[in-house]
Amino acid sequence: MPTESEQIVQDFLTLLQREKDNTETSILTPTEWEALADLEQELNRIADDPESLAEAILDWCDKYPNISESLNNEDWPAVRAGMKKEGQKVPQTLASENIDKIANKSTVQEVKEAIENAINEQSQ
């Protein structure tokens, strides 16, 4: 069972993936897509643990009420189930008992890559 921090990371990655795949219901404005670069930079400065990663994500989301509201209020397990049913990529995080320093760094890198990919795809 994921920790609360791991769940926040997975939910945020799901939000990004859904936004990349479905531009019809986009929550992120073009300005917010560009602002993801700020979050990416912040991830370069944080400790490599799930709590720091989740805190950085939540701090960034707090600057954008529509994103924060979506992250906090949507039924993300149901969203992931729907994405899986439609054959879309579904973001995963490691179970807490398997996370160690290397795995945490991989999670930070995964989030950074998801942000970078989202920015690149949005600008095309």
Q: Which amino acid is at 72?
A: N
Query: CA 20, CA 79: separation in Å to the nearest integer?
Result: 14
- What does the domain layout of the chain look like in residue ranges? 4-12+29-122
pLDDT tens figures, 38-55: 998 888 888 778 888 899
Over the Cα atoms of the chain, what is R_g? 14
∠ Cα 90 92 98 (to 5°): 165
pLDDT tens figures, 64-123: 999 999 999 999 999 999 988 988 888 776 544 444 443 444 566 777 777 777 777 766
For residues 35 and 91, the model is more confident at 35
